[in-house]
Amino acid sequence: MRDSLSQKIKQAREELDSHVREMVEWHFNPETGSEFWLDYASKLDFDPRKEIGGYADLKILGHFEDTWLRGGPVRKWVPKPLLNEPIYVFEIGGSTGVPKTRVNIRDFQTDYEMFSETLSDDGFPKGADWLMLGPTGPRRLRLAIEHLAQHRGGMVFFVDLDPRWVNKLIKRGAHEELELYTDHVVGQALNILRVHENIHCLFTTPKLLEALCEKINLTKTGIKGIFCGGTEMNAQFNRFAREELVPGIDFVPTYGNTLMGLAVNKPFDPADNYAIIYYPPAPRAVFELVNPKNTEESVDYGETGRVMLTTLTKEFFMPRFLERDEGERAEPIEPFPWDGVANLRLLSSLQKSVVVGVY
């Protein structure tokens, strides 16, 4: 490993530990903490502000459970100084039952501004307009894409897709109805692309990209960059997209997550053989790849582990949440001198029981 990278890794680690101390102080301080975390701390036999000196110490808090995010009151998650700010509520899941919610004030804008810095101006020209073809509704994604476009001087045209309805169609095996719904969604996108010549950037999901490309040559419509996310992508899809679906277009796979922010794919390198390697927006979020059978133990680089996600912003504190995903632990690189995850996918133990959003 080069000295400069080693130095960057060390520095990033120090920044992370410092950031952890700052966030723990904020969320567990009676003056600034949220009702949820202050209540949580009151039941502990230690003071997190005294005991947690860095990222490794977060383990004394155990694992965050996403079921805590189900139901209300939602304001219990808002840190006291932010209670009078305009608050967004974003939903997670919800195909059946009560969705989980995460409050947001400005996090999504910060995350997408950071992400914007990683986009090339050739693929995503400043001032270009966007088409967002995918789930809007109560999700962070809709506002986030709009903010991204506006941040880069453009505006967004939207075509919605309701993933909850799609999941219901899949569960009852209504394949033809799903095709009709997809056609309905894609048809609206085609209408927009035909009449708005300044649309050069596209956000969509893998499945919708396939459906769109069946109807239209995106290069000929003037699309220069595609930000693709929303569901799992593997190396084969990445290769297929670059070689056959949208050759010549800047194709940017991403891993977005309402609980985290936006993980960026490692810049394309033929040596990676199309593997998708995500890096989180540290120190605001951290991936740790842990042994699924002993989540206190990290796996080695290149080994497969379960993704443990920690989010550390002033708006939201989520220590050591065990995602339903697994992947290989990826080494730090120059632009992202912290751990990443390669070949992210649904946990193998869940692969037969979960209907992954196929939208």
Partner 1 sequence: MLHFPILRAGQPYKSLSVLDVTNFKTGEKIAELSQANSGLIRKDFSQAEKNKQTLNDLPVHELLTMCNNAAALFMKEELPINGATQSPEDYIRILSSTTGMPEVLCRKNMDKISFVLDEMETVLSGLTRGLDLSILDQGWGSENGSSLSYLCTTNSLGAILPNNSPGVHSLWLPSIPLKVPLVLKPGTQEPWTPYRVIQAFIAAGCPPEAFSFYPTDYSGAKEILLRSGRSMFFGGASTVQAWEKDPRVQIHGPGWSKVLFGEDQAENWQQYLDTLVDSILINSGRSCLNASGVWAPSHAREIAEALAKRLAKIQAKPMDDPEAQLAAFVNPAVAESISKLIESGLSEGGAEDLTAKYRDCDRVVAVDGCTFLLPTIIWCERPEHPLANTELLFPFASVIEIPQNEILKKMGQTLVLTALTEDKKFIQRILAAPNVDRLNLGPIPTSKVSWDQPHEGNLFEHLYKQRAFQSGHFLTNGRKFVNEI
Among 80, 70, 75, which residue's Cα sits nearest to residue 27? 80
Backbone conformation region of residue 23, classed left if phi is above 0, alpha if psi is from -120 to 50, else beta = alpha
> How long a stretch of residues is the chain?
359
**Contact flag: residue 215 with partner 1 (CB under 8 A):** no
Look up tokens 């290989």; give the residue. Answer: 328
124: which 2 tokens? 């995503």
Q: Which stretch binds partner 1 (CB under 8 A): 37-45, 75-83, 131-139, 238-246?
A: 238-246
Residues 279-308 that bind partner 1 (CB under 8 A): none
Residue from 118, 150, 188, 234 that binds partner 1 (CB under 8 A)? 234
| Stretch touching partner 1 by CB under 8 A, among 23-31, 124-132, 206-214, 309-317 | 206-214
Indicate whether 342 belongs to the interface with partner 1 (CB under 8 A): no
Choice from 161, 245, 277, 307 touching partner 1 (CB under 8 A): 245
The span of 142-150, 222-230, 231-239, 258-266 binding partner 1 (CB under 8 A) equals: 231-239
Of 244, 294, 296, 300, which one interacts with partner 1 (CB under 8 A)?
244
Cα(345)–Cα(304) distance, integer angstroms? 11
Residue located via tokens 């101006």: 121
Cα 285 to Cα 16, 121, 281: the distances in Å are 9, 26, 5
Should residue 270 be labelled a site residue for partner 1 when binding is judged by CB under 8 A?
no
The number of C-alpha atoms within 13 Å of 219 and in the hemisphere containing its C-beta is 10
CB of 219 to partner 1, least distance (A): 15
**Which residue of 36, 37, 274, 279 would you call a contact of partner 1, by CB under 8 A?**
274
User: Cis omega before residue 73 (within 30°)?
Assistant: yes
Binding site for partner 1 (CB under 8 A): 172-176, 179, 206-207, 209-210, 213-214, 234-237, 239-241, 244-245, 273-274, 358
